[in-house]
Structure 1
């Protein structure tokens, strides 16, 4: 009875199946937050060698570049619901293995790195399938998609960053194996919830075509769609710019403001709180200003706020501007994901989402590496100023394509295709 009430509260008028999806996502995200904090502590407890520690982080970033495209093709070949529950079930096994290794004092850096790689691979497969199944569950109506995505994103930020992470650190100090054990439990519950959602086969069968042909079709579709192609490269550049300064943020906050661990946590919390506000408020903004103006406004706000963070010597101002960056970045994410879901044909959702995410992720590693170099050569203010310049220039260039007219034309094309399919 309690579970039924929880699911009804979670569906937000978007249907019982959406309630299960939301609750499943909330469970696994909460567990992720607990585990991610404990992961850093477990690794630091095994070695103080920065190179060895970095292998765990690197292992967690590689799957995004390796499996974004194959994961998209898989989401168009196989029942997306099945991908999600099987992925969570497998992740349950890997994290349970870590819990057992900690409990028996057999944990190694190699095992943590291998599990990080496996979990990140699962995250790629799960997220691509999840983004592709949302339109099947709530329909492709833009307002319903924005509402669905904003609730998913806000819950993820709240439960992972503000509940899960602090709890993970506290639990690790009490019983070291408890955080991975709870994360395993969260994956198990999430898997069971998704498995209970009725099957929704993909719109087209691709079994008669090869994997490479499927991948080319998804890449070709995205490349030929001028609006989504522009957005894909814009988010790639934006991720590059974000990582320019994010890679040196902790040093800047320590050197300029003299902040310790707690102060750094407060500042990063400003980003997260802004993200929650942005995810929940962006639907209201886009209904009044329009989708295109909301996206371009978010980029401009992010760029201007980044300038202020780089120049200010006031903690309160820096915190407020980080809040603005978080609101702009997550608001942009909700609107662009929802727009993409509404424009891409059902049978291509997986491959186009995979291609889009590969392009989007490609800029982050270069930004992180270059940000450190710029900070060393030109000082810690420089990455923020360069980042702002890149974001504002990107917004100026993207505005030539991302405007009210192009969005209206893209939505009209979808309606025309739907009409032709119906006849």
Structure 2
């Protein structure tokens, strides 16, 4: 057999060089490359500096929110001994979401999201700090709690759409769903850590100083949000109609779409029920049926957080095909879980009931994650 001569060797080297140049010119698509194994998806997301800042700041803020939620209703109950007073505080907390929910989405489209978040965090921080200040002065009353709740919720109605829209700006499109799932899991984890911290603090500090910790958490949120750096187009105002025109357009869309209108009405009714049962009902169950007061309440809220986190891990990445079914499937365990809680006097049964009720939140979250480009908007 004839051996290859110098001419053959030169031809082979030339062929190889051409192919190497071809590979440089036409790189392998990113979707076909092998990703490094063994790295946590959350750690991969946290390599994004802006996302990491948002993630950490909102995690601290969520723990503060839990301490605030525990203290708000228990303090109203301790000051008055009245479930009616708690209900009025709950109404003051919920009504701003109804009044400003759509407006908040419009503003998130048209104003600098970071500045909007910082401004609303500042308002909430000052409102939270007002409670311990009034306590020190010896003039704190239940209606002050209602006023603080209204300020906090009004600011939150503008903050949450801005935060959702900012998350879209800090994440590449391919990471939207994974980033939203990780963020949701973190917020729900705060529902475990916040009540646990509350249980530790109950015997050590007065309920009024829980609000001071909440104010400190808002300060952390403000600082981390201020540290986020975006390109100009990532935080630009949304072009097109005026804010009023966009709001009216959103209302027309709702009126023209019976399914959307039904979902919004149902969600509004459901949120009223959630506020009453989660915030007020569990206080009364812990105090009057199961017994144990604040400690039992903290255990119930912690169980709710555990149910949230476990459900989020199971359903977090499932595909969404029938949105109506997912929404209905979210409210069903909530209704059944709280129905059982209302009739039980056993702590273990109560913990199991609220953990089951908590499945509903992550299930309904799937619908929102399915349309990340609409986060923060007032329309469908």
SS of residue in 1 equivalent to 2:316? helix
Q: 2:304 touches 2:355 (CA, 8 Å); kept in 1?
A: yes
- Aligned match of 2:102 in 53, 69, 85? 69
Superposed, which structure 2 residues align to 1:300-379 within 5 Å? 300=329, 303=332, 310=339, 319-320=351-352, 322-327=354-359, 329-342=360-373, 344=374, 349-352=376-379
CA distance in structure 2 between the partners assigned to 1:196 and 1:241 by the alignment: 38
- Aligned match of 1:292 in 321, 340, 356? 321
- How far 1:330 sits from its partner (Å)? 2.2
- How far 1:194 sits from its partner (Å)? 0.5
- How far 1:132 sits from its partner (Å)? 2.1
CA distance in structure 1 between the partners assigned to 2:304 and 2:329 by the alignment: 17
Query: TM-score, structure 1 length as denominator?
Result: 0.65
- Aligned match of 1:164 in 175, 194, 214? 194
Residue of structure 2 in register with 1:413 after alignment: none
Q: 2:54 touches 2:225 (CA, 8 Å); kept in 1?
A: yes
The total of aligned residue pairs comes to 331
Q: Does 1:78 align with 2:111?
A: yes
Question: Which of 263-272 and 88-97 deviates more?
Answer: 263-272
- How far 1:67 sits from its partner (Å)? 1.0
Deviations 1:300-321 (A, max 9, x none): 4763785587579897677556
SS of residue in 2 equivalent to 1:291? coil
Residue of structure 1 in register with 2:147 after alignment: 114
CA distance in structure 2 between the partners assigned to 1:223 and 1:139 by the alignment: 34
Where does the alignment leave 5 or more consecutive residues of structure 1 unmatched?
A: 1-7, 357-423
Highest Rg: 1 or 2?
2
Question: Which of 124-133 and 148-157 deviates more?
Answer: 148-157
Q: 2:120 touches 2:158 (CA, 8 Å); kept in 1?
A: yes
Residue of structure 2 in register with 1:219 after alignment: 251
CA 1:150–1:96 in 2, change beyond 3 Å: closer, same or farther?
same
CA distance in structure 2 between the partners assigned to 1:157 and 1:275 by the alignment: 6
CA 1:185–1:299 in 2, change beyond 3 Å: closer, same or farther?
same
CA distance in structure 1 between the partners assigned to 2:43 and 2:265 by the alignment: 34
Q: 2:59 touches 2:187 (CA, 8 Å); kept in 1?
A: yes
CA 1:10–1:79 in 2, change beyond 3 Å: closer, same or farther?
farther
Residue of structure 1 in register with 2:239 after alignment: 205
Where does the alignment leave 5 or more consecutive residues of structure 2 unmatched?
A: 1-40
Q: 2:127 touches 2:148 (CA, 8 Å); kept in 1?
A: yes
More helix by share: 1
- How far 1:269 sits from its partner (Å)? 3.6
- How far 1:45 sits from its partner (Å)? 3.9
CA 1:133–1:230 in 2, change beyond 3 Å: closer, same or farther?
farther
Q: 1:34 touches 1:169 (CA, 8 Å); kept in 2?
A: no
- How far 1:63 sits from its partner (Å)? 0.6
- How far 1:75 sits from its partner (Å)? 1.2
The two structures, once aligned, show a CA RMSD in angstroms of: 3.8
Q: 1:275 touches 1:326 (CA, 8 Å); kept in 2?
A: yes
